[in-house]
Amino acid sequence: MIAIKKGLSKISLKWKIFFVLALVGVISFGWYTSSVRSEDRVTKSFSNMPLGVIRAINDQGEEVILWTKVATTSEQRRAGFSGIGENVVRETALLLIYPRDTTERHSISGVRLPLEMGFFQEDGTLVSISRTTVGASTTYGAPARVNYRYVLMAPQGYFARHAFSVEGEAKLLPDTLLRAPSWP
């Protein structure tokens, strides 16, 4: 113990400050990288999206209740699942709502799992399902010149589990969307 005190007294104040700052930097970097790569990570934009529930009709004509996060602002729609941990993406569907019909294309950069994206017209008719690839530089959208109003983004397999297909009778019931109240 005495040897350590003698050794520390020989180190200049400048080196002591440098050592403390370097130690703080290493600890901060470790915390940052573990939180960025966390399987349960959510972004501020994602956490600000309200939880919603919407009814739908699947290919068998059965009514299905879908729990989703709801993205209504351009910031929320742009953010989507980008930067979200894999566990969260596996367990979450995300409904993007546009104020008017659009043909906008969607980038999935920063999304860690392959997704399915269902494109629905204003009346809720499913017009297209796209399956994404992680790391792809492509953008995804409905077929050329097909307008849509809603996009349901979910982990791959979601549409099959709920019996939704373009060839079938699958349809969202947009008037049934209920959003959880905003909490202070």
pLDDT along the chain (184 residues), means of 10: 56 63 56 59 90 94 94 93 92 95 90 94 95 86 92 96 93 88 48
**How far apart (Å, rounded) are the C-alpha atoms in residues 105 and 91?**
24
Count Cβ atoms within 10 A of the Cβ of residue 21 and give its class: 0-12 exposed, 13-18 middle, 19 or more buried. exposed
List beta partners, residue 152: 95, 118
**How far apart (Å, rounded) are the C-alpha atoms in residues 170 and 163?**
8
Q: Are 149 and 100 in contact (CB under 8 A)?
A: yes
Nearest to 46 by CA among 72, 79, 85: 79
Residue 16 has a pLDDT of 62
Residue ranges per structural domain of the chain: 2-36, 44-179
List beta partners, residue 179: 52
Q: Which two tokens stand for residue 48?
A: 């600000």
**How far apart (Å, rounded) are the C-alpha atoms in residues 72 and 78?**
10
Residue 38 has a pLDDT of 81
Q: Are 115 and 132 in contact (CB under 8 A)?
A: yes
CA distances from residue 85 to 1, 35, 41, 96 in whole angstroms, order as listed: 45, 10, 5, 19
CATH 2.30.300.10 fits 44-179, yes or no: no
In one-letter notation, the amino acid at residue 153 is M
pTM: 0.77
Residue 136 has a pLDDT of 78
Nearest to 145 by CA among 97, 102, 100, 99: 102
